[in-house]
Structures are given as structure tokens and as C-alpha cells.
Structure 1
Amino acid sequence: LPLPAPLAAKAGAKSRSEGYSIQRSEREWNYVLSPEQYFVLRQGGTEVPNTSPLVIEKRAGRFVCSGCGTSLFESSAKFDSGTGWPSFAAPLAGVEVEAKNPLNAALLGAEVRCRSCGGHLGDVFQDGLLFQGTPAALTGKRYCIDGAALVFEPSDGGEAVIGAAPSRQPELPSWLQPPKVGRTA
């Protein structure tokens, strides 16, 4: 079905590269980001649920963009949605919502991007009231964010946690593993 004129005008997506304060070529983004970060941030992909270490991160701190370091979410807004992706009730000023189509945004969610670099972060849904007892019940919103788009910086000054799942080398079956060479006890 064709969209009514006002909705059709808003259906075109804003570019992920034009109009943002941080500018890099796609070649530069490909160089500075891991393959998973590039897939999510620059291509608008979605990571496999429950693969990011940030799903279970509960310490006090701040979540920043893995592409440019812009502050996106406070840990106090994070809650367990059971979806397999880090979820937040409210963003910081570094987040922008790209509503391509207002009707779709209300029903299916709207794209969430980094306000500084335009990187795709995830989606925001208007179902926060379903999560009673969480910060989302107060805002009515659930920001469902790909962990690969985030880096967690703990308040205590500890080591930052990169949200992209670590690459794992597939383990070879025992019959394909090279023989062990060396001294035996």
C-alpha cells in the first residue's frame, strides 16, 4: 500500500554519514571497527542475541558509542528485558531517534543512532510499561541496543568492556588437532 504523502516524505532514511559531527570514509570505519562493530554501526545490522558481555553488565558507569566514544546511556537506565540485548529506559543527549515512518515507529520501533557519528545503535520501542518494576515502566520506552555498538566505562575507573562479542576460533575436532610435541611428565 502506498503511504500518505506526509508519511511517505518521512519514509526516506537519513544517511549514516552525512550531517554528523564525526566524519570518516567507509574505508576508515572499516579499519577502526571490528567486523561485528562495522556490521552493526555502519550497515545497520543486528547482532545475535545474548552474545554481548554487556547484556549482563550491572556495574555503575556509562555506555558510550564504540565508534566514536560519545556518551549514550547511564547504567542507572539499564534493565534486564529478557530479549538478549542491552536494554535501557532513557538515553543521554548523545542518542538520536531516526523515525523513518511515524506509523512504523509507533508499532515496530524506530531506529536509534549516535548523534555524533550516525552509527546504528538499535531500536526504541514504546513497550516500556510491560516491564513493571524497571526504569522502563516509568518512561514507557525500551531502547533495545546492540552490544557491539557500545563500550561500557565503569564509574570506579576499572577497565572498559567492549560490547562486541570476542571472536572465537572454532575448536578443531580431536582427530584434526596436531600431535602434541615435547616432554611429557
Structure 2
Amino acid sequence: MNKGFYIMTEACPALNFFIYIQNIYGNQTKKSEHRFPYMIREYAFSQNFEDSYKEKWAETVQLVAENRFNGEKLFYNHKNFFFEGLFMDHTSFNEVYQSFKVWWQSLTGELAVTKTVDEEIRNIYRDLPESSPRKTLFVQVIYDDCFLGDLMSQPYFCIVTMEQCLHGKEKLLQFVRKSMR
């Protein structure tokens, strides 16, 4: 084991809420194959949704990279951040927010996302060289791909999808190593 080097794996509610919103939008506009959550009701998304989404996603990634607690604060204390520029009415937004919150706080939400990838993260930890610096690598897990934004990595911070973790240890290891430079 590599003494002094740690991997901290979390599933940030703000980042995963963005994925949830993106998937509803993608299902509604047929921008992708149907993804979770599949909602029959149509929501009032803003005219410039995709541009706003990219900006807000990048801003959120930066905030979470700076301090891992920022994502939780943003989700629970600054709901309007997600509303502005993405939704046209509060009714649509509140329905999506509540739906995500109920799912996220259940056993099939955050806990399932983090526990699903635990073993894979432990496996890549074992494969990282002994020469890894004495630092903590922060890995944020999102439940699905971010097709409207980038999975930007920064020094000792990266975002991975559940699918990346479950399909292809070598690719995951390569991706994680990039953030350790």
C-alpha cells in the first residue's frame, strides 16, 4: 500500500443533479437515447438551456474541485443557481428538484452510486505506483455520462461515471492518472 496517498470517492449531489436535469432535457428534446430519469411530463426549459448548462456545469466543477463540500452547499443552500438559465418556471424546476432529492436521499440514490464503484476504486488504488505523492486524490462519481459538458479533471481531482468504473479498469486507471499530474 502507498502510505500517505489516499483516494477519496464521493458522489456530489450538485454534479449528479446536473446529470439528472441533463437527462430529462435530453429525453424531452430527443438529444440522446432515453436515460434515467424518464419523465412523461414536459418541463419548461430555457431557450438557451445548453449554453447555460455548460457554463453552470463548468462553474460547479470548479467549485467542487476547490472544496469538496461546495457541491453539497450549492445543492442544498442555493437552489436558485440551478433554476436560473435552465428553467423557465419555478413549478417545473421545483418538481425536478424534489424528484431528484427524494431519489438521491433514498437507498437507490447517493448510497447506491458510491457503493457500486467502491471495489473498482479500491482496485485502481492498488494499481497506482508506490511513487504516488503523499496527497489525496478526490474522485467524484456521477451516475451517468455528461453529454452536455466535459468531465474536466484538475490536479488531484477527477469526475468519473459509474460506467467508466464498471467497464474497463485500464481506461479508468489511465483517466485517473491524468489527474495526478
Q: TM class by shorter-chain length?
A: under 0.3
Say which structure, 1 or 2, has more relative contact order (CA 8 Å, 6+ apart).
2
Q: TM-score, normalised by structure 1?
A: 0.23
Q: Which has the higher strand share?
A: 1
Q: TM-score, normalised by structure 2?
A: 0.24
